[in-house]
C-alpha cells in the first residue's frame, strides 16, 4: 500500500512540476510577443496614399488653397504641413511639370519605435510613377516620423535614407 501511495504521489508531483514548467513557458512567451508590423505598414501606406491622392487631384481639380490645406491638415502635421502648403502655393504661382504618382506601396518597415505621441520607422516604399517619358518604378527608403494629434496619426516628416 505504501508503495502504491508513493508512486501515486510521485506521479502527482511530476504532473504538477510539468504544469509549472509549461505555465512558465507561456508567461515568457506573453512577455515577449512576436512583433507584427502589419498595422503600422497599413497606417503609413494609407497616409502616403491619401497625401498622394491629394497631390494628384491638382492635375484635374480646381486648385482651391483653403480646401487643399483643410484636407492636408487631416493627414499631415508640422513641419510637413508647412512644406506642402508652401509647395502648393509655389506650384500655383509658377506651374511646373510634376510626375504623377500612380501607386504607392510600403514593402518593408524596420526600426519601428514609439514615443508618447510619435512613431518613427525606416520604411521602404515602391512608387509607380508617370512622367513625360512614360511609366517607371522607384524603390526608396525613408526615415518616417508620425505624430499623434487628437488621437489620429499624421505624417509629420520623412527623409530619404541610405
Where are the chain's structural domains?
38-160
Q: What is the pTM of this model?
A: 0.74
Instruction: Write the CA distances from 78 to 2, 15, 53, 115, 152, integer angstroms.
Output: 78, 60, 19, 17, 14
**DSSP SS3 for 142:** strand
pLDDT in tens, the chain (162 residues): 656 555 555 556 665 655 544 444 443 333 333 356 899 999 999 999 999 999 888 777 667 788 889 999 999 999 999 999 998 888 888 877 788 999 999 999 999 999 999 999 999 999 999 998 899 999 999 999 999 999 999 999 999 997
Could you name the CATH architecture of 38-160?
Answer: Roll (3.10)
Amino acid at each position: 500500500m505504501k508503495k502504491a501511495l508513493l508512486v501515486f504521489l510521485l506521479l502527482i508531483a511530476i504532473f504538477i512540476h510539468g504544469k509549472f514548467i509549461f505555465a512558465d513557458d507561456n508567461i515568457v512567451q506573453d512577455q515577449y510577443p512576436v512583433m507584427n508590423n502589419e498595422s503600422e505598414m497599413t497606417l503609413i501606406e494609407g497616409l502616403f496614399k491619401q497625401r498622394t491622392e491629394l497631390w494628384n487631384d491638382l492635375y484635374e481639380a480646381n486648385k482651391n488653397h483653403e480646401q487643399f490645406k483643410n484636407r492636408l491638415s487631416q493627414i499631415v502635421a508640422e513641419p510637413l504641413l508647412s512644406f506642402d502648403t508652401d509647395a502648393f502655393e509655389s506650384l500655383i504661382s509658377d506651374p511646373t511639370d510634376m510626375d504623377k504618382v500612380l501607386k504607392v506601396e510600403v514593402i518593408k518597415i524596420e526600426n519601428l519605435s514609439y514615443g508618447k505621441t510619435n512613431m518613427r520607422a525606416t520604411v521602404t516604399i515602391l512608387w509607380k510613377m508617370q512622367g513625360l517619358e512614360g511609366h517607371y518604378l522607384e524603390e526608396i527608403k525613408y526615415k518616417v516620423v508620425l505624430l499623434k494629434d487628437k488621437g489620429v496619426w499624421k505624417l509629420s516628416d520623412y527623409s530619404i535614407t541610405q
